[in-house]
Amino acid sequence: MNWKDEAKREIRNYKALKQSIPNIKERILSIQAQKTSLQSSSDSTPVQNGGNKHEDRLLDLIVLEKRLRLTLKADQIRIDLIERGLSVLSETERDMLLEFADNRPSEAVEILRDRTGYERAQIYRLYDHALYRFTLAEYGIPEF
């Protein structure tokens, strides 16, 4: 595993991961509403393996809800780890990492050059240093 690539991937996925949390919660609420709706119906026609369509659908919803709850928990842990990694950085370092995550490197450099007044080489040095510090904070020692 290349620690730089892994750290870049984490930062690149950070915003989408944060945006997924409310969506997952809404899907769970939708499933709960479907379960409530199913519980009020009373179709007891048996299907091939001894159950009925109502029971099969309810079981499918229960399994889906459990899977979504586990996904929500895992995503929240990942977000917390990324945010702890970002928290050790200065505001400038954090902005650099997020800018590189949102744009192609050449575009990020131009945006940061306009914003900070730093030269291209200095931006890359600061970015590499920020990425290293982020990696240490999130993962521990990145290489031996």
Tell me, what's the pLDDT at 142? 54
- Per-residue pLDDT reduced to its tens digit, 107-138: 999 999 999 999 999 999 999 999 999 999 98
Confidence band, pLDDT 50/70/90 cuts, at residue 41: low
Q: Is 51 helix (H, G, I), strand (E, B) or coil?
A: coil
Tell me, what's the pLDDT at 53? 82
Residue 46 confidence (pLDDT) above 80: no
* Distance of alpha carbon 31 from alpha carbon 34, whole angstroms: 5
Contact between 57 and 91 under an 8 Å Cβ cutoff? The reply is no
Average pLDDT, the chain: 89
- Per-residue pLDDT reduced to its tens digit, 63-109: 999 999 999 999 999 999 999 999 999 999 999 999 999 999 999 99
* Distance of alpha carbon 33 from alpha carbon 10, whole angstroms: 34
Residue 47 confidence (pLDDT) above 70: no
Contact between 137 and 87 under an 8 Å Cβ cutoff? The reply is yes
